[in-house]
Amino acid sequence: MNVDFKERRTRVGFITLALVAMFAMVVIRLVLLVEFDGARLNSLAKSEHTSETELAAVRGPIVDRNGEPLALSAETRSVYARPPRVLDSTSPAERAKLAAALGMSTSDLAAKLAKPAPFVWLVRRTSVARAQAAEALGIDGVGALSEYKRFYPESNLAAAVVGLAGMDGQGLSGLELEYDKLIRGEPVELTFYHDALGHPILDTPLELKTPEPGAQLELTIDSSIQSLAETELAAEVKQSGANHGAAIVLDPFTGEVLAMANVSADPSGVHDRLHNSAVQDAFEPGSTMKGILGSIALADGTMDLTRQIYCEEGHWTIDRRTIHDDSKHGWLDLGGIIEVSSNIGAAKIALGLGAERFYQGLHAFGIGFRTGIDLPGEASGLIMKPSTWREIDLANHGFGQGVAVTPIQLAVAYAAIANGGLVVRPYVVKAAYDAQGNVILRHTPQVMRRAIPPDIAHEMNLLLRNVVNGPNGTAHRAKVPGFIVAGKTGTAQMVNPAGGYYQNRHVCSFVGFLPADDPRLLILVVLYDVGHGHFGGLYAAPVFSEIASGTVRDLDITAPDSSYDVASLIPLPGRGAATSSIDDAPPDQADQIPAMTGDHSPAVPNFAAMSLRRALEVAHRAGVTLEVSGAGYVVAQDPPAGSPLSHADIKLKLAPVLAAASAPDASRGGLLSGGGM
């Protein structure tokens, strides 16, 4: 073997080893890339060579309680282009025809086609005719897809409640936002592939995923009542010079919101879809607080119907502050204090009650806490901890100063007085249905807690009638022909953000229910930022009357058989007014009055198949207190009917098992329990 051969073999060996080493390094590098960096690189490659865009699915309709549509989706067409293909396949003249068909300028079209993107929208949600005209030109790289545009067939009716959906099909406010996941459906996803320069690879088609339509929402809102509330409120906002107003119509037993109106004096914001004053704005309630205060004091036992309070002839100084009444008053009982709306009388009741007990009572009514209504952005109002209250704060809270509530919060609190003492959760969506009509959500009335006993609620019901019908009542303009109305006026100065109160800017309100003997409607009217002298009884009460009068006609509500003379006012001392005979049972309810056992002692009534409203009436007449669970109609009670009546609570169990047609009082719904002036 010669030297040259050995050298060549050595060189070949070194080269072979080098190649093997290089190959090993490549393999190791490949393994490292796959094992440790593969996911990132795969994602990067995908993002560089694929593009996606999303089309909104068909949003589900929103309808009122009678099926009248409040929000619908209409089919439109969206025209897209693939700029490289359009520019390569068309002349300037052809692009000018495309711009004309789409109703846009040639410069705007040129700007869109000049974007360094493989896919651009030329127009979104245009008319079908315009899209067809663009497609008819036959330009390579131009196409159209169906999209859906939200519109509101009743224009701005219940605008703040229904809310607004954006261009991308996402809810922005109101129910459109609160139930967005249900009603927006499954969006349509578009995916296409391109090379590093943005050119489509193998002319990949747009891949459409089958869209799933959104759910239909059925509301508790009644369009005719909503329209009436908005019309009457708008007229009063204009006449009174208010900045804006809110009105709520509520079923006090179920919590169903029949109408929620928000009106602004600003023409551009008359029906603001982005802000709902009825749930998002807080105000000092003024004298409407007195009905709640009186209920708490009666339940606590610090006040009764006969106790007299000296009202200082209209001026009373406490803690170097002077509390004023609108007119001079001497000795008044609770009924008189509420009827004439004495601030001094209310302040003394609050002081007698004490900060801690007053606070606990307000808490029970839900004052200063969210109601849980199914609308976004609900405010909680404002109530400070009782440990921070000074004596003057406690006195002021008695007539609604220094405490802030929302309209829906105040309405729910007075609904508790109307329904026998129960705080119910308000709601505006009754049910939701999928595209096949299957129920996917159903709301039933829910009792949150008991604020006051039924007998206290009944006593306050009678006292609040004096505000409307009494000789010195502050709300004579709230009367509704043929019906007894119970309610309370309120007027409060607006808080100045710089400190203190505005002297000539007020919030006036009236909250009431009817028929007072069998409440079916709770109506609240609030007017914001009105001038001095614009009392709730003069400006808010007439709006209540008009809304109530129209609503009882729409719902065909009739007044109870008992007349005003026999079931109206609690007489104030020395007035000689007729005493109430509300405890006298009508003939058709004789079977519901407690029976007499053999030893002439009263027996437990039979509550079988009763709704909450009926059960509360019977319990009041029997002088018993109920402990309720379940929802629907009474299916069980303990102790059983006919047992000797004791002072212990009667336990009722309710369930939605009775057919509405055969259930007593079915048309009115039943108990559902669960989860100034």
Query: Which residues are marked as active site?
Result: 287
How many beta carbons lie within 10 A of that of residue 443, not counting itself?
A: 19
Cα 163 from Cα 172, distance rounded (Å): 7
Q: How many residues does the chain have?
A: 677
DSSP class of residue 480?
B
Cα 116 from Cα 513, distance rounded (Å): 65
| Structure tokens given for 578 | 């007729």
Cα 511 from Cα 288, distance rounded (Å): 7
Question: Three-class SS of residue 198?
Answer: coil
How many beta carbons lie within 10 A of that of residue 453, not counting itself?
A: 18
CA 14, chain centre distance (Å): 83
Burial class (CB in 10 A: 0-12, 13-18, 19+), 39: exposed
Contact between 237 and 265 (Cβ < 8 Å): yes
Cα 609 from Cα 157, distance rounded (Å): 38
Cα→Cα distances 169→59, 172, 177, 570, 648, Å? 7, 9, 11, 56, 56
Query: Which residues are bridge partners to 655 per DSSP?
Result: 633
Which residue reads 């578009």 in tokens?
Answer: 190
| Structure tokens given for 3 | 């030297």
Question: Three-class SS of residue 342?
Answer: coil
Q: Which of 264, 279, 200, 263 is nearest to 230 (CA)?
A: 263
Cα→Cα distances 259→223, 316, 540, Å? 8, 41, 16
Long-range contacts formed by 473-476: CB under 8 A, 24+ apart:
473/339, 473/340, 473/537, 474/287, 474/339, 474/340, 474/341, 474/535, 474/536, 474/537, 474/677, 475/510, 475/512, 475/536, 475/537, 475/541, 476/537, 476/541
Contact between 247 and 525 (Cβ < 8 Å): yes
**Sign of CA pseudo-dihedral 541, 542, 547, 552:** positive
Phi, psi of 186 (to 5 degrees): -90, 125
Phi, psi of 57 (to 5 degrees): -80, 175
| Radius of gyration of the chain from its Cα atoms, rounded to whole angstroms | 35
CA 47, chain centre distance (Å): 43
First-last CA distance in the chain: 125
**Containing H/E element for 32?**
helix 3-36
CA 406, chain centre distance (Å): 11
Query: Which residues are bridge partners to 283 per DSSP?
Result: 405
Q: Report, in this order, helix, strand and coil percent for the chain, each rounded to 5.
A: 35, 25, 40
How many beta carbons lie within 10 A of that of residue 571, not counting itself?
A: 15
Beta-strand runs (E) in 622-669: 626-630, 633-638, 650-655
Cα 80 from Cα 97, distance rounded (Å): 15
Contact between 160 and 278 (Cβ < 8 Å): yes
**Containing H/E element for 29?**
helix 3-36
